[in-house]
């Protein structure tokens, strides 16, 4: 399966991710530029310093080569006691074996520069290397820096406050005599000073990133919290829950959006009220002329014609009653409150068992925010259908992630797959349903679906592989905002 990066779905997380990536990118580019410049500057400075040291070393080599051999010990004694040179100097019969510092590009640059500079002036055998002063050998007899008097090396080799790399130059000034020169660089701790990412700089980078992210988190929260409140108000409005006024201390753009949202709420509410009054009024007013027509039909002498009129009028009367029932059941005027759905199902199952039906339950404790009578009517319609056509019903209720899942399974004949979606249309009845219930109008499933949708849920019908029909309901788990609003509304 190919790997793909998906951006976070939350606006808050997207903004934080953008800020974090932006700051990291700026720091990375800045550090890269800084490292390149620092490396170039370090190489240039070290090349100049190495050239100067190499020049001094070349002069010392020429001087000791020109000095008579019997005068060399005297001069070395004077240099050790009185100083006056940047090198610690000694003469050995063989080159001293060192433990050079490995894998340091800056050290390699210095040794190469010193080697090339000295060899141009004195092409004799030459060895150049950096070594740490700890147990640094200074003679072919095995003596180390620690064995020397402090005043011999105090002015040439830096041992305190912490050791620095020592540059050791060895060259053969004549057969059997090797001149040993040791010194530190003009900047003894150049390896640290030219490190592009010292600990203090990394700490500063981390602190900068943390501060920027904290400020970004605060700003993003300040920007997105009103949007979350607006979404909660929109969701509550869709479910008929009052959430109070929106905050008025936010940005100007949010205040404009909130004002438009309030106007939209008012227009939708006026439309719903007008639709309800109009539909109920028309349906109610139609019953009077239908009754008059039935009375006038009784005056007809033709029995066949009278029966035809009665059949048409009965069908029309059933449609009007169904319309009134639909309005009554789906537009129940009650406030949303907390409902223990598992307790409600237990009561409904108890009533069904008293009527002689077989109902099995598998319920998890569930608290729902709903209109109690409406949700009871919706589930009651589904349960009545299941008991009427399936005799035995199995009910299960559980929670998965942010949804409650309620299933009612009967053991009836099921429904043809092609006709499952048609059952939610008003006045739709299948042949086997008409055979079992002559008085039904085909509104139960339509009403149940409308009520479930009004609660932000979903109702799906499907056949069970072993036979029977499953009514599957998904309802959203209430949020803290909804619970608070529902409790205030219930109070």
| CATH number of this structure's domain 334-490 | 3.30.565.10
pLDDT of amino acid 491: 38
- CA gap 177, 93 in Å, rounded: 5
pLDDT exceeds 60 at position 157: yes
User: Is the pTM for the entire model greater than 0.85?
Assistant: no
Q: In terms of pLDDT, which residue wins out, 83 or 369?
A: 369
Maximum CA extent, the chain: 159
The model's pLDDT over 174-200, given as tens digits with 9 standing for 90+, comes to 877 888 888 888 887 777 766 666 777
Q: Which region among 114-128, 354-368, 414-428 has the lowest average model confidence (pLDDT)?
A: 414-428
Six-digit token string for 148: 């020397």
pLDDT exceeds 50 at position 259: yes
pLDDT of amino acid 1: 42
Q: What's phi and psi for 38, nearest 5 deg?
A: -65, -40
Pick the CATH number of 251-331 from 4.10.640.10, 1.10.540.10, 1.10.287.130, 1.10.8.60: 1.10.287.130
The model's pLDDT over 345-371, given as tens digits with 9 standing for 90+, comes to 999 999 889 888 899 999 999 888 888
Contact indicator for 374, 332 with CB cutoff of 8 Å: yes
Peptide bond into 107 cis (omega under 30): no
The model's pLDDT over 21-79, given as tens digits with 9 standing for 90+, comes to 888 888 888 888 877 887 787 788 888 888 888 888 888 888 888 888 778 777 777 77
pLDDT of amino acid 396: 93
pLDDT band (50, 70, 90) for residue 159: low
Burial of residue 361 (number of CB atoms within 10 Å: 0-12, 13-18, 19+): middle
């Amino acid at each position: 399966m190919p790997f793909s990066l998906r951006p976070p779905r939350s606006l808050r997380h997207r903004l934080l991710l953008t800020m974090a990536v932006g700051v990291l990118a700026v720091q990375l580019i800045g550090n890269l530029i800084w490292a390149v410049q620092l490396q170039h500057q370090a190489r240039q400075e070290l090349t100049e310093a190495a050239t100067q040291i190499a020049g001094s070393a070349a002069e010392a080599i020429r001087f000791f080569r020109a000095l008579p051999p019997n005068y060399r010990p005297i001069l070395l004694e004077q240099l050790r006691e009185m100083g006056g040179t940047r090198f610690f100097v000694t003469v050995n019969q063989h080159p001293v074996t060192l433990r050079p510092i490995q894998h340091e590009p800056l050290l390699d640059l210095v040794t190469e520069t010193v080697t090339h500079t000295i060899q141009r002036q004195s092409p004799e055998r030459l060895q150049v290397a950096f070594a740490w002063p700890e147990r640094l050998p200074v003679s072919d007899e095995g003596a180390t820096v620690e064995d020397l008097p402090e005043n011999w090396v105090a002015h040439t080799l830096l041992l305190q406050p912490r050791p620095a790399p020592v540059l050791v130059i060895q060259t053969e000034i004549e057969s059997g005599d090797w001149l040993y020169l040791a010194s530190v660089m003009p900047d003894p701790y150049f390896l640290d000073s030219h490190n592009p990412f010292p600990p203090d700089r990394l700490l500063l980078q981390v602190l900068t990133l943390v501060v920027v992210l904290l400020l970004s988190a605060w700003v993003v929260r300040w920007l997105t919290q009103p949007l979350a409140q607006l979404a909660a108000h929109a969701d509550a409005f869709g479910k008929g829950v009052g959430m109070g006024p929106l905050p008025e201390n936010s940005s100007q753009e949010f205040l404009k959006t909130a004002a438009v949202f309030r106007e939209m709420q008012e227009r939708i509410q006026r439309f719903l009220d007008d639709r309800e009054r109009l539909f109920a009024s028309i349906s109610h007013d139609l019953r009077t002329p239908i009754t008059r027509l039935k009375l006038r039909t009784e005056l007809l002498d033709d029995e066949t014609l009278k029966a035809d009129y009665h059949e048409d009028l009965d069908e029309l009367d059933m449609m009007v009653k169904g319309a009134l029932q639909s309005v009554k059941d789906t537009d129940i005027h009650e406030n949303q409150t907390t409902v223990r759905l598992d307790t409600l199902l237990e009561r409904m199952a108890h009533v069904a068992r008293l009527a002689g039906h077989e109902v099995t339950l598998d319920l998890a404790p569930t608290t729902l925010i709903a209109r109690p009578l409406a949700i009871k009517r919706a589930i009651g319609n589904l349960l009545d259908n299941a008991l009427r056509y399936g005799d035995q019903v199995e009910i299960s209720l559980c929670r998965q992630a942010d949804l409650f899942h309620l299933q009612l399974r009967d053991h009836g004949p099921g429904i043809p797959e092609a006709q499952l979606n048609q059952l939610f249309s008003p006045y739709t009845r299948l042949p086997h349903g008409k055979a079992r219930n002559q008085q039904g109008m085909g509104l139960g499933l339509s009403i149940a679906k409308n009520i479930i949708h009004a609660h932000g849920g979903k109702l799906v019908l499907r056949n069970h592989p072993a036979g029977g029909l499953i009514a599957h309901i998904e309802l959203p788990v209430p949020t803290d905002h909804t619970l608070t609003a529902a409790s205030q509304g219930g109070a």
